[in-house]
Amino acid sequence: MAKKYVYAFGDGKAEGNAKMRNELGGKGANIAEMTNLGIPVPPGFTISTEASTRFMESGGEHPDGLDEQVSKHIAVLESRMGSGFGDKDNPLLVSVRSGARISMPGMMDTVLNIGLNDRTVQGLARRTDNPRFAYDSYRRFIHMYGDVVMGVEHELFEGLLARRRQKAGVEQDNQLSVKDLEELIEDYKGLVKSEKTMAFPEDPRRQLWGAIDAVFESWNGNRAVVYRRIHGIPNDWGTAVNVQAMVFGNMGEDSATGVAFTRDPANGEPRFYGEYLINAQGEDVVAGIRTPMSVSMQVSDEQSGISLEAKMPKAYGQLVAVYKRLERHYRDMQDIEFTIQQGKLWLLQTRSGKRTGRSAIRIAVDMVSEGLIDKREAIKRVNPDQLEQLLHPMIDPTINAEPITKGLPASPGAASGCVVFSVEEALQSVAKGDKVVLVRVETSPEDVEGMKAAEAILTARGGMTSHAAVVARGMGKCCVVGASELQVDYQRKTLLVKGDTIEAGDTITVDGTTGHVYKGRLRTVEPILDDFYNQFMSWADEFRKLRVRANADTPEDAENAVQFGAEGIGLARTEHMFFKEDRIPVVREMIMAANREERVRALRQIQPMQREDFLGVFRAMQGRPVTIRLLDPPLHEFLPHDDEDIANTARHIGRSQDEVRAVVSSLQEFNPMLGHRGCRLGITYPEIYEVQAEAIVEAAIAASREGIDVKPEIMVPLVSIKQELVELRERIQRVATDVMNREGVHIRFLIGTMIEVPRAALLADQIAEVADFFSFGTNDLTQLTFGFSRDDSGKYLADYMSKGILHGDPFETIDQAGVGHLVRTAVEKGRRANPKLKIGICGEHGGDPESVAFFGAVGLDYVSCSPFRVPVARLAAAQVAVENSR
Amino acid sequence: MAKKYVYAFGDGKAEGNAKMRNELGGKGANIAEMTNLGIPVPPGFTISTEASTRFMESGGEHPDGLDEQVSKHIAVLESRMGSGFGDKDNPLLVSVRSGARISMPGMMDTVLNIGLNDRTVQGLARRTDNPRFAYDSYRRFIHMYGDVVMGVEHELFEGLLARRRQKAGVEQDNQLSVKDLEELIEDYKGLVKSEKTMAFPEDPRRQLWGAIDAVFESWNGNRAVVYRRIHGIPNDWGTAVNVQAMVFGNMGEDSATGVAFTRDPANGEPRFYGEYLINAQGEDVVAGIRTPMSVSMQVSDEQSGISLEAKMPKAYGQLVAVYKRLERHYRDMQDIEFTIQQGKLWLLQTRSGKRTGRSAIRIAVDMVSEGLIDKREAIKRVNPDQLEQLLHPMIDPTINAEPITKGLPASPGAASGCVVFSVEEALQSVAKGDKVVLVRVETSPEDVEGMKAAEAILTARGGMTSHAAVVARGMGKCCVVGASELQVDYQRKTLLVKGDTIEAGDTITVDGTTGHVYKGRLRTVEPILDDFYNQFMSWADEFRKLRVRANADTPEDAENAVQFGAEGIGLARTEHMFFKEDRIPVVREMIMAANREERVRALRQIQPMQREDFLGVFRAMQGRPVTIRLLDPPLHEFLPHDDEDIANTARHIGRSQDEVRAVVSSLQEFNPMLGHRGCRLGITYPEIYEVQAEAIVEAAIAASREGIDVKPEIMVPLVSIKQELVELRERIQRVATDVMNREGVHIRFLIGTMIEVPRAALLADQIAEVADFFSFGTNDLTQLTFGFSRDDSGKYLADYMSKGILHGDPFETIDQAGVGHLVRTAVEKGRRANPKLKIGICGEHGGDPESVAFFGAVGLDYVSCSPFRVPVARLAAAQVAVENSR
């Protein structure tokens, strides 16, 4: 016996159900489910995904039995509808729609009105008493079928249509008479014949098989293949085909069509929210030719009279009953499509409705109170990325502006301001009370003060983990990077975008959530953190096992982080403190030192400043753990680069400008990322780390004297060899012991290391023997594992993603196969060698939900991310915990 | 019963033997062995290494039983010598020497004449009938013991000695009278007492224990600890202590002392080769105060009359018998020390003699003919690094010049020439017939023509795998890099070295084998590849399993490689061909192209040039496999950088200088090593690789038409993601098929990839599915695994090695634990996924013996290295095969 490929639905009974998504596709499974629920759905049948798989495997043959099964089910459908396929008086018309497991652009979508031909169109005209409608449907059918199934160019049909309008002397298609349409239909048929050297098929069965085969073949269409490659969807999934009797919302004033959400998709309020049109087809609602009206009365006073509720109370009552049924059944907010044909309600589709982050939270919390779902389910219902929307201003969604360019969405939120090109301009403008957007080719640590002053940052270069991106996220400041169409001219103080010039002082708006940049000031909507949010996050915290810390360098950042729910600081970068205006001269003095003595003298000046910084952070964190990373960047980053700055530095430290230039040039490196930085500095200039360790311990003692149960964790960066950590640990320990003996106070502290070099991950067992904790630096680890510079990779990574070579930016979401393998190895080896090892991650991946889920699964103790990503990480951590608990 | 710590030797019987190196140290084991052989050795005993380990563990306690055992053995020694320890008439004198498993600087070395005091010195004077000798020995003893054992500063003794000379009115120590010496001895004792507040020990037993404890303690001396850390020697090995009766070569004209090699250490000729002094102590031979004479008559006519053979024929006869015995016994050339006391021969030490590479080969080949060793043993007898000496000129070893500075020995050999600072100067001077040394801060691909023209290359920056080092090794040209004391001033055309100025045109000599740089021209010795060498290498080839290929970019390099025994080319870098003067403008045109069409147009001009290059290489290799790597470096490297060059390029391609500058700046990268290079270029500009693949296949077809059984292997660099190779492989395959169809000729070729990114190694199973071969690029792999830039790491790597954080430069010898782990993983995973996978390595490690041994053990198919390193790799590969075969 042949395999079953066709699954019927209709009259309250379906052979499939919602669980058969793999066999029937998303659309087919939901149609079957609705049918089984007794909800009125136009009857029809679904051809399984397996049929399409067989079709492809055999190179275009229908599998055994498919033809017979389809014929049989068409017969069933005819009897159910009381009409006949090709019947000249009462023709059965069907739609054919594709439906893969997940919705996929590039696939053939829909052919409506299959079954129309020169004879049946007359029957349709008679039965609807609307010849215009019948012939318009017919010409649309030939156009749609000719284009989608037969491959005749869309524009050729449009050309004939335009010529026909001209001939008829009308401007709109709907002004064409029945006769015009009849002639147009002849034109269309002639076009098909001349283009394809075959007549347009009159036989409804040939029409049907043509459409079904077209769906099968569209699975291997170019766009679909690329889409699958980019999104990592297997080629052998195949697609289902849904064949369904047509129903018409345009059969008169007692007919209608509409779409609705069972709750408000914008804010989640529990009200039925939809739009409909009387005497119309589904396409009309979407196309926006006529303005649709509200389904419910409650929405607004003006609408109440023309609402579906008022106009067709009976059908509305049915619809309400159906939506409540569906929501209860699916236990989620639904997005439904319906048609009312001559007073009778038909449901065409139901699916989980898309919603904003705010709506998602409100719906999840409400549904828990309503007993529809439990807290675990609620946690799974909100996409962590959506939380971002709640935490930052966004451009008013009602505004429909055209962006002038697009970059990478490096740090979310939206803001407007006058364009400035330098830190000085930024500070001056802000002092005058202006709001500014700092525009740079790329930023460096010297720009940090300007970034702080600006509302938003925009760069022409750099990727998701470039300096601008990382710092902006840390500040929670809107930022777009790598907007490569921008030509920044610092001299002329202009910004060229595709021939358009923007000058310093002009206002622009930057949307860091989408990467878009706009001219002028666009209205923004402020974020709201309401009780629903708080309730929801408290549930997340209840379930999650991963702790969430923040990356924060200053007391202000630290306070901010605590407010967002951070349970500690996973990364305090000591170098960011070095760039402050009052410190950088001393830092430079330290770097320019000719010998150890001079260096120590300069470091002695820096020490009290660092101590105060640390004390401030300890105070802000009130006993939560604080991980402080010792100096990491190459010294070159701190040095002056322009002539003025060099002159100032030379004056300050009493050397000649040539001497300063010589040091600057001697510290230049070809590949600073692989250069003299991290613990390599600590090895060659032991005094730097010694002074930093001293400042940490002194600050910790001061904090403990204030009654704070201080928990410093001293972190050594960029270790690749165990012996590096052995030597530095010994040194730090010695300094700490000296300070504690001198002060007569004992504090607890940990010494650990970043795992950010592949070798450290590979030899984590050795390193764990001398580390109290590991913190993965996945930015560097990703750079080194792929050999991708985060600053330079923008150029080719975009290309890689568009070609499907990579399915995502590995600097945004951790590469589980490669970098993740190293993380897993290091965790296993590290814990085996040192069971008490505490393990976290402080790279940018710490705030990416998919990555957080991975870190949770691998068994890390905590993730650390920018303060503004803390809620995102808390939710992602809760989701992985809920997932793992089953 | 207490453990045995003391092992006696004497009178033809020893408790130890040569195999007990771990217990008795190297020196002790050999002394025992000689004793057992019946060779006359002054009797004594060895305290085992375990005693010193216990001493250290207990914090300075002698282990139970040690004191008694030493006392017992002193008594045995007294009876053997017929003298008494402290006996005023016939005193026993002993030496105390340390002796670890391997010789180690920083350890206490030797104290002679223990047993002398105010009384025994008189007995010695009487018995030798030489009071001057006796008192001189005594004052030397106090000096040596006071310094080494008691820690009184050496200079203080020297000061007293100088004052005493002054007082006596003499210039030389040996002009001091017995009375002077007696007074000096009193001065010395006073010094010790005032410095150490204790008298110099008169009791011979206290002297002995002081010396033994000093040896024990010297194991933990600073220098010894650092040495062990640097060389990775375990701290718990401990050291043995050898206590031995003194014999004197200075007891008159019938006494003598000398050192000898059993074969010529310079050229390996089988003749007894040594030097001796009559009436002298061992130190005198080494110190060079008197000129030693030849042991044998055969060495030269002048020497024959004063040779030991002539002067003391009987002792000489004994010595010859002993040396033959020792050689036969140890089956290796020996370095021996002997003393003749009043006509009686004593052997003090024997060990394998150090020898030049040439000597090592000659001795190994001769010993096989003599039946002393077999071929396997012969192969193990030559250090592969020594082969280098044979292949390059070296500075005449008889010259004793002082280097002006030292850098890294990047490419061996020695050469002299006038200093030039640029390619232009180099070419001009060479055109005039001068020999030049090219001196640069560092080199870049633009300098290659100048490097070719020069005799030697010297740079102030860069490491063992910097551009200069790699290119010079490829050329077999002498090169010293990273000579950081040099200050190169391109403007003034001078070279500053520690205040000394060298100007353009001055002659210097560069020794790439040692890293030394000398002023002026030093005489060099040309390499000799004789029959012994050929015989030896043919044995190596007989045993080795690893194939050896060469890295060669041009037909000339390829021919050279074949002459050195290369069995194929493992890496032909296509980009080196791009830098030729007639090509670089077209290459630049290609890079500056505004779109695909322009780029293809430029590539079409490059294609025939590349084809000719490849054809030349195929011809040179005559059917041996040739691996050609597609374009690898970032395009920026090919662009003009100075104004003149930019102007020329702009003129050539018909663009404005500003446009050229804009492209140059847009291609600049922060970390080019991690940038847009390797297969990333092939993905974003598919036409580049397509044209290269076409040129390779066309050249292969042309070669095959000439009857060459051509075997091209097309190599895709820098793959980190399987899909990169999938895409590029498809493209290369398509181009190849097109060309072969067009030409009607089918050739076999492979498509493979470099494994040089950690991710590629970790996911080698995936990549192997689409690769015919892997070639490890261990330079990049090392860079990325450690996060060390090979160009910038010189700054800290030196520090790392001197501090013992690293035991060697990982760019020179592969880091087995980290990088090697990735290599091993990739080999296992790759072979599992694709059993036919061919695997080689083409990084600089391919020519490093220790690394070659590792690659052999891991199971690679071949290594590829610079042509001049091919013999080294052949030998190293043979050694690992011999090692594995047991």
Contact B684 A796 (CB under 8 A): yes
Token reading at A604: 């002695």
User: A10 with A79: CB under 8 angstroms?
Assistant: no
| Confidence category of residue A824, pLDDT binned at 50, 70, 90 | very high
Lowest mean pLDDT among A423-427, A629-633, B470-474, B613-617: B470-474
Which whole-number Å values give the CA distances from B821 to A239, A817, B824, in the listed order? 44, 18, 5
User: B512 with B413: CB under 8 angstroms?
Assistant: yes
Q: Which amino acid is at A635?
A: L
Q: Distance (Å) from the C-alpha of residue A818 to the closest C-alpha of chain B?
A: 5
B675 interfacial to chain A (CB closer than 8 Å): yes
Is A143 labeled as catalytic in the residue annotation? no
pLDDT score for B688: 95
Q: Could you tell me which chain B residue has the CA closest to the CA of A815?
A: B759
Of A784, A792, A800, the CB nearest to B758: A784
Q: In terms of pLDDT, which residue wins out, A354 or B702? A: B702
The Cα A613–Cα A594 span in angstroms is 28
Region A721-726 average pLDDT: 96
The Cα A447–Cα A459 span in angstroms is 12
Other Cβ atoms closer than 10 A to A734: 12
B492 interfacial to chain A (CB closer than 8 Å): no
Contact A789 B757 (CB under 8 A): no
Q: In terms of pLDDT, which residue wins out, A352 or A725? A: A725
pLDDT score for B175: 85
H or E element that contains A508: strand A507-511
How would you classify residue B169: left for phi > 0, otherwise alpha for psi between -120 and 50, otherwise beta?
Answer: left
Is B658 strand, coil or helix? helix
Contact A683 B803 (CB under 8 A): yes
The Cα A806–Cα A803 span in angstroms is 8
The Cα B195–Cα B152 span in angstroms is 7
| Confidence category of residue A722, pLDDT binned at 50, 70, 90 | very high
- Percent of chain B at pLDDT > 70 equals 98
Of A720, A799, A806, the CB nearest to B787: A720
Residues of A in contact with B758 (CB under 8 A): 758, 784-785, 787, 818, 822
Q: Which amino acid is at B63?
A: P
Token reading at A538: 């408290």
Q: Could you tell me which chain B residue has the CA closest to the CA of A230?
A: B723
Query: Which residues between 774 and 813 in chain A have a beta carbon less than 8 angstroms from any beta carbon of chain B?
Result: 780, 783-789, 791-793, 795-796, 799-800, 803-806
Partners of residue A569 on adjacent β-strands? A550, A626
Region B112-128 average pLDDT: 93
**Length in residues, chain A:** 886
Give yes or no for residue B288 having a pLDDT over 60: no
Residues 6+ positions from B813 with CB-CB distance below 8 Å? B845, B848, B850, B851
| Confidence category of residue A174, pLDDT binned at 50, 70, 90 | confident
Residues of A in contact with B684 (CB under 8 A): 795-796, 799
Give yes or no for residue A670 having a pLDDT over 60: yes
Alpha helices by DSSP H, listed for A422-567, are 423-431, 448-453, 467-475, 531-543, 555-563
* Terminal Cα distance for chain B, rounded: 40
Give yes or no for residue B105 having a pLDDT over 80: no
Is A467 labeled as catalytic in the residue annotation? yes
Token reading at B552: 């060669």
Region B348-365 average pLDDT: 91
Which whole-number Å values give the CA distances from B844 to B156, B470, B537, B787, B818, in the listed order? 51, 7, 22, 17, 17
Lowest mean pLDDT among A103-107, A485-489, A795-799, B218-222: A103-107
List pLDDT tens digits, range B801-814.
888 899 889 999 99
Residues 6+ positions from A711 with CB-CB distance below 8 Å? A568, A623, A624, A625, A626, A748, A749, A750
Phi, psi of A582 (to 5 degrees): -80, -10
Residues of B in contact with A671 (CB under 8 A): 671-674, 789, 791-792
Token reading at A685: 């200039």
Phi, psi of A230 (to 5 degrees): -65, -40
Give the residue from B698, B685, B767 showing the smallest Cα distance to B726. Answer: B767
Q: Distance (Å) from the C-alpha of residue B289 to the closest C-alpha of chain A?
A: 42
Q: Could you tell me which chain B residue has the CA closest to the CA of A229?
A: B723
Torsion of CA A124, A129, A131, A133, to 10 degrees: -80
**Length in residues, chain B:** 886
Token reading at A873: 């990480």
CA B394 to chain centre: 15
Give the residue from B511, B514, B527, B523 showing the smallest Cα distance to B564. Answer: B527
Region B564-577 average pLDDT: 92
Q: In terms of pLDDT, which residue wins out, A738 or B281? A: A738
Query: Which residues between 273 and 312 in chain A have a beta carbon less than 8 angstroms from any beta carbon of chain B?
Result: none
B472 interfacial to chain A (CB closer than 8 Å): no
pLDDT score for B15: 96
Contact A727 B791 (CB under 8 A): no
Contact B783 A674 (CB under 8 A): yes
Give B126: exposed, middle or buried? Use CB within 10 Å, 0-12, 13-18, 19+: middle
Q: In terms of pLDDT, which residue wins out, B390 or A538? A: A538
Partners of residue A99 on adjacent β-strands? A240
The one catalytic residue in B73, B467, B576, B636 is: B467
List pLDDT tens digits, range B37-74.
999 999 999 999 999 999 999 989 999 999 999 999 99
Q: Distance (Å) from the C-alpha of residue A235 to the closest C-alpha of chain B?
A: 15
Token reading at B363: 């001795």
The Cα A310–Cα A296 span in angstroms is 8
A721 interfacial to chain B (CB closer than 8 Å): yes
The one catalytic residue in A73, A143, A467, A576 is: A467
| Confidence category of residue B230, pLDDT binned at 50, 70, 90 | confident
List pLDDT tens digits, range A307-348.
999 999 999 999 999 999 999 999 999 999 999 998 999 999
Region B238-267 average pLDDT: 90
- Sheet of A408-411: strand order equals A405-406, A516-519, A507-511, A414-420, A436-440, A456-459, A478-481, A408-411
pLDDT score for A274: 87
What pTM was computed for the model?
A: 0.83
pLDDT score for A447: 86
Contact A762 B804 (CB under 8 A): no
Of A783, A805, A819, the CB nearest to B721: A805
Contact A803 B727 (CB under 8 A): yes
Residues 6+ positions from A436 with CB-CB distance below 8 Å? A417, A418, A419, A420, A425, A426, A429, A430, A453, A454, A455
| Confidence category of residue B287, pLDDT binned at 50, 70, 90 | low
Residues 6+ positions from A314 with CB-CB distance below 8 Å? A343
Give yes or no for residue B158 having a pLDDT over 70: yes
Give yes or no for residue A687 having a pLDDT over 80: yes
Q: Could you tell me which chain A residue has the CA closest to the CA of B762?
A: A818
Q: Distance (Å) from the C-alpha of residue B461 to the closest C-alpha of chain A?
A: 10
Of A675, A758, A766, the CB nearest to B758: A758
B684 interfacial to chain A (CB closer than 8 Å): yes
Nearest-5° Cα angle at B19, B13 to B25:
90
- Percent of chain A at pLDDT > 70 equals 98
Q: Distance (Å) from the C-alpha of residue A795 to the closest C-alpha of chain B?
A: 7
Across the A:B interface, residue pairs with CB atoms under 8 Å apart total: 172
pLDDT score for A179: 94
Contact B671 A818 (CB under 8 A): no
Partners of residue A489 on adjacent β-strands? A494
Give yes or no for residue A288 having a pLDDT over 60: no
Give yes or no for residue A247 having a pLDDT over 80: yes
pLDDT score for A289: 57
Q: Are strands A436-440 and A414-420 parallel, antiparallel or unpaired?
A: parallel
The Cα B185–Cα B172 span in angstroms is 17
H or E element that contains B100: strand B94-100
Question: What per-residue string of b and e applies to A407-436 under the rule 16 or more CB within 10 Å gives b?
Answer: bbbbbbbbbbbbbbbbbebbbebbeeeebb
pLDDT score for A498: 84
The Cα A506–Cα A16 span in angstroms is 60
Region B596-609 average pLDDT: 92
Q: In terms of pLDDT, which residue wins out, A345 or A446? A: A345
Q: Are strands A6-10 and A13-14 parallel, antiparallel or unpaired?
A: antiparallel
pLDDT score for B300: 63
Q: Could you tell me which chain A residue has the CA closest to the CA of B668?
A: A792
Query: Which residues between 745 and 774 in chain A have a beta carbon less than 8 angstroms from any beta carbon of chain B?
Result: 756-759, 762-763, 766
Of B672, B673, B796, the CB nearest to A680: B796
Q: Distance (Å) from the C-alpha of residue B483 to the closest C-alpha of chain A?
A: 14
Q: Distance (Å) from the C-alpha of residue A763 to the closest C-alpha of chain B?
A: 7
Give yes or no for residue A543 having a pLDDT over 70: yes
pLDDT score for B283: 66
Give the residue from B365, B399, B364, B397 showing the smallest Cα distance to B381. Answer: B364
Query: Which residues between 806 and 865 in chain A have a beta carbon less than 8 angstroms from any beta carbon of chain B?
Result: 806, 815, 817-819, 821-822
Q: Distance (Å) from the C-alpha of residue A554 to the closest C-alpha of chain B?
A: 28
- Mean model confidence pLDDT for chain A: 91
The one catalytic residue in B479, B679, B842, B865 is: B842
List pLDDT tens digits, range B399-419.
888 999 998 888 888 999 999
pLDDT score for A623: 95
Which whole-number Å values give the CA distances from B115 to A104, B4, B687, in the listed order? 97, 25, 86
Contact B671 A676 (CB under 8 A): no
Q: Could you tell me which chain B residue has the CA closest to the CA of A668?
A: B792
Token reading at A395: 């451009």
Q: Distance (Å) from the C-alpha of residue A476 to the closest C-alpha of chain B?
A: 26
The Cα A359–Cα B442 span in angstroms is 61
Give A83's DSSP letter. Answer: -
Of B671, B763, B791, the CB nearest to A792: B671
The one catalytic residue in A479, A679, A842, A865 is: A842
User: A394 with A509: CB under 8 angstroms?
Assistant: no
Which whole-number Å values give the CA distances from A403 to A522, A632, A791, A884, in the listed order? 11, 38, 25, 42
List pLDDT tens digits, range A23-77.
999 999 999 999 999 999 999 999 999 999 999 999 899 999 999 999 999 999 9
Of A676, A727, A787, the CB nearest to B796: A676
Is A388 strand, coil or helix? helix
The Cα B554–Cα B558 span in angstroms is 6
